[in-house]
Copies of this chain bind each other. A is one copy, B any other.
Amino acid sequence: MKRTTITQVAKEAGVTIGTVSHVINGTAPISAETTERVRRAIKALNYIPNATAKSLRSKKNYTIGLMLPNLNNSFHSKVASAFIDKAYIEGYSVQIHGYEYSLERERRELERLERNNIGTVIIFNGYGDEREIKNFLQKGIPVILADRSSTIAQVPHIKFDNHKIMLDIVSALQKKGYQRIGFFSEPIQLTNLKERFQGYQEALKKCGLSFNPKDVFVRDDLCLDNLKNGYRYMRDILSINEKKTLPDAWIASSDLLAIGMMRAMHECGYQIPADFGVVGFDNTEISGYVNPRLTTVEQNQILLGEKLMEMVKQINCDKKSVENISLEQSLVIRESC
């Protein structure tokens, strides 16, 4: 009924538990003969070591806590998928916690991670959690920030280069003849969006376009249900405003938002890219399969997942010299602008 324990194996093999432990972990030279007997006992009893006990005693821990908003958009789910895949190869397990864009909930979940005795913590986006992060560091639990830059020393981050890409987008749009470029985005709280917003303003300036606060379209609900809320917001915008008072090109903060927008435009009788140009973000797979095919920013989610795993491995060895990583993004030009 119960799991077999190291004690049972030891009894079966006629040795002490210490010896069993040594043959399993190779932590002491054990005679071939004894090793063989222990191996046989392990097989016979179908013994699988209890990682809980092991981690309690050894203080080592191969589970990673992954904090992210949720798995509802393909950006996060792709990264998570790639990360889990790598983690498997490296022998780590990953616990996923979703904070649903709520600061309070993020804090609670972080506490649960600590409770669960997690070995390494990865936080995607998030904000206002400096105290919790410092708490982890104090207790010797390494933290990595993802898709976000960090203000805390000792906490490495990995993110995309948001300045350069905004310039690429704006100048590409300008080259195509668009004159006014709108910024359509979920609330600009997370550092990656802040950077994009900054980059957007800088890019306008560099391209000789003027920044107009009226071209910034942000609504709170845009971070949840991207598709639906992007659609609704754009319908609202189009029903209230005349076309000529609006930007003629739009940079959306995600592909789903962009796709929702495009449907609203389509339903209101506008043509894309003739009436409005649209640029998405993420290059989710679907973006190449909608009509018109969406121009978007390629963010290599798989690469992000992989690099993240590399950082975890590094930070679990050195504990020190882990470099921040900035990943390139590139514009994938298709039909929507």
- Say which residue of B56, B114, B259 sits within 8 Å of A286 (CB atoms): B259
In the complex, A236 has a CB within 8 A of chain B: no
- Say which residue of B49, B78, B256, B289 sits within 8 Å of A290 (CB atoms): B289
A277-324 at interface with B (beta carbon < 8 Å): 285-286, 288-291
For the complex formed, measure the closest distance between the CB of A206 and the CB atoms of chain B, giving whole angstroms: 34
- Say which residue of B2, B3, B112, B288 sits within 8 Å of A93 (CB atoms): B112
Chain A residues bordering chain B, tally (CB within 8 A): 59
In the complex, A140 has a CB within 8 A of chain B: yes
Among A55, A117, A139, A231, chain B packs the most CB atoms within 10 A around the CB of A117
For the complex formed, measure the closest distance between the CB of A228 and the CB atoms of chain B, giving whole angstroms: 7
In the complex, A21 has a CB within 8 A of chain B: no
In the complex, A238 has a CB within 8 A of chain B: no
Which residues of the other chain, B, contact A225 by a CB distance below 8 angstroms?
285
In the complex, A218 has a CB within 8 A of chain B: no
In the complex, A180 has a CB within 8 A of chain B: no
A contact patch SS: helix
For the complex formed, measure the closest distance between the CB of A275 and the CB atoms of chain B, giving whole angstroms: 16
For the complex formed, measure the closest distance between the CB of A274 and the CB atoms of chain B, giving whole angstroms: 16
- Say which residue of B80, B85, B115 sits within 8 Å of A50 (CB atoms): B115
Which residues of the other chain, B, contact A139 by a CB distance below 8 angstroms?
1-3
For the complex formed, measure the closest distance between the CB of A186 and the CB atoms of chain B, giving whole angstroms: 16
Which residues of the other chain, B, contact A72 by a CB distance below 8 angstroms?
77-78, 81
Residues of A within 8 A of B (CB): 1-3, 46, 48-53, 55-56, 63, 70-72, 74, 77-78, 80-81, 84-85, 88, 93-98, 100, 105, 109, 111-112, 114-117, 135, 138-140, 225, 227-228, 231, 256, 259-260, 262-263, 266, 285-286, 288-291
Task: Identify 16 residue pairs between A and B in the complex whose beta-carbon atoms are under 8 Å apart, listed by A's number.
Answer: A2-B140, A48-B115, A51-B116, A52-B117, A56-B56, A63-B116, A70-B85, A71-B77, A71-B80, A72-B77, A74-B74, A84-B98, A88-B98, A96-B96, A260-B289, A290-B291
Using A88-B105, A227-B289, A263-B289 as known contacts, list a sample of 4 further A-B pairs with CB atoms less than 8 Å apart, ordered by residue number in A: A77-B77, A88-B97, A94-B96, A95-B96
